Amino acid sequence: MLIIGSGAAGLSLALRLPSELRIAILSKGPLTEGSSMYAQGGISAVLDEQDSLDAHVEDTLEAGAGLSDPEAVRFIVERAPETIHWLMERKVPFSTARGEDGSETLHLTREGGHSHRRIVHAADATGRAVETTLVDLIRRQDNVDLFEHHIAVDLITTAKLGHADNRCCGAYVLDLNAERVEAVGARTVVLATGGASKVYLYTSNPDGATGDGIAMAWRAGCRVANLEFNQFHPTCLYHPRAKSFLISEAVRGEGGRLLLPDGERFMPRFDSRAELAPRDIVARAIDHEMKRLGSECLYLDISHQPADFITSHFPTIHQRLLEFGYDMTREPIPVVPAAHYTCGGVHVELDGSTDVPGLYAIGEVAYTGLHGANRLASNSLLECLVLAASASERIAATHDDFPPPPQLPAWDESRVTDSDEQVVVTHNWSELRHFMWDYVGIVRTDKRLARAQRRAEMLKSEIQEYYGNFRVTGDLIELRNLATVAGLIVESARRRKESRGLHYTLDYPERDPKLDRIPTVLTPNSFPG
């Protein structure tokens, strides 16, 4: 089988599958270079006797603003404790605390939107702790072949090969080192490719978050859902050299206050939960105040807490900020919102299966119904790990039901040449991310979305012509995928005639109760995305 992506979802799936199953894992860069590595906050799970599964479900539904699927929410929340225990058995170094009786227990923190302390974390670098642990384990698996610096170009389906039935039977893959495309056959293919936040100019995500899995699944015939809901993290460091450094939600969870340039605290004016309100509310409040004041950034201040408390809870953030010239134990941190998490994605069942037999999607690339119109903090790694577990059960039970892949045609380069105009890719990449930020960002209007749609269609046409005439490169593959996903995001946003969660439009500023529990679903062939 073939797993495309090497984050927490893909690696934990591979570790849970039967050892007799031969597995290939593709990674666009080094095995650890994905969004999982940069997840700071933690994993939400009910582990405290003062907490309850019902409370975690309710908090998730509240954050989802009427669009979360209650069945999906309960399915994932109920499996959270087992997920944490599975990680602990594999020696993920979670932070601990001493109880009153002297015993050592997991340290639980609280983040925005949560009614209890239920965030299991490894200091302020949980994603790194999980990812590096899983990578160490996967490198010792005899049944796993790792292909770093390989990027999938497109999925191969039997329908594309002219067969009457349709199932996924592999992918065309570009070896970035050899600059050669190969056909890779597989009985089962899993997309674990992450999100698409690189479609925006400012993002907390690494460079690889280019929506590859969403775009490939769409071209293969899968539905996508709720792509208008892209979460903007309220607090990324504002610094010309920082690029995408996130200031964890947990900083506000441990008492951090958001301030205007004059030092005034403003969040209580927007929500009774103040800094602990869900991310969409906090991000819109920051965006509003920045526009009102004409300010390039606002500030996050936790310097009122003891220095030892700050450095012990946030050692990674503290050290990184010192490199940029800020001491969070003594002064406020300049912050701006940035695109952070793709709440929609490829429409899947709760075992990760898609509309195309033999194709699965897990993690941020997938839409399960958990997040609804907004993601509750630290539910993302949880979803990755739970869906990996449920997908492993389904794949283990059905893998042998699929015949071996048919003979796959080789990649055809007979009518293409090497490009002598790389500037086309660079220019279109920049233009796409600028217009998505300007017109499809935190606050939208019909006019802005119409402008974005016209530009997206023009760019997709240019990129497709370029794709058809020149040899593919990693940059071209990512640009093509970003353009596809940009079109899907814009179309989804235009269809939602209300404001809800992460989708806020000045033309329809109120939530429409008739749209509760109704996701925005796009179907291939009904929209030329």
Provide the b/e sequence for 403-412 (b: ≥16 CB within 10 Å): eebeebeeee
- In total, the chain counts a number of residues equal to 529
Largest CA-CA distance found in the chain, in angstroms, rounded: 73
Q: What is the DSSP letter of 350?
A: T
Query: Closest Cα partner for 405 from 31, 118, 123, 1?
Result: 1
Q: What is the DSSP letter of 266?
A: -
**C-alpha torsion angle, residues 465, 466, 470, 474 (rounded to 10):** -130
- Per the CB < 8 A criterion, the answer to whether 251 and 42 are in contact is no
Location of structure tokens 């690696």: 11
Amino acid identity of residue 211, one-letter, is G
Judged by phi (left if over 0) then psi (alpha if -120 to 50, else beta), residue 501 lies in left
> Positive or negative, the Cα torsion across 435, 438, 439, 441?
positive
Query: Closest Cα partner for 522 from 375, 360, 371, 355?
Result: 355
- C-alpha to C-alpha distance for 73 and 64, rounded to whole angstroms: 10
- C-alpha to C-alpha distance for 435 and 414, rounded to whole angstroms: 35
Name residue 521's beta-bridge partners: 225
What tokens appear for 246 in the block? 């996130």
Which among 187, 257, 279, 284 is annotated as catalytic? 279
- Per the CB < 8 A criterion, the answer to whether 232 and 283 are in contact is yes
- C-alpha to C-alpha distance for 201 and 339, rounded to whole angstroms: 8
- Long-range contact pairs involving 415-424 (C-beta distance under 8 Å, separation at least 24): 416/468, 416/469, 416/470, 416/471, 417/469, 417/470, 417/471, 418/470, 418/471, 419/466, 419/470, 419/471, 419/473, 422/475, 424/462, 424/466
Say whether 279 is catalytic.
Answer: yes
- C-alpha to C-alpha distance for 123 and 295, rounded to whole angstroms: 32
What tokens appear for 518 in the block? 């109704």
First-to-last CA distance in the chain? 28
What tokens appear for 91 in the block? 């020696």
Q: What is the DSSP letter of 227?
A: T
What tokens appear for 31 in the block? 């095995």
Helix-, strand-, coil-residue percentages of the chain, each rounded to 5: 40, 20, 45
Query: Closest Cα partner for 61 from 370, 516, 502?
Result: 370
**C-alpha torsion angle, residues 251, 75, 88, 13 (rounded to 10):** -110
Residues designated as active site:
279
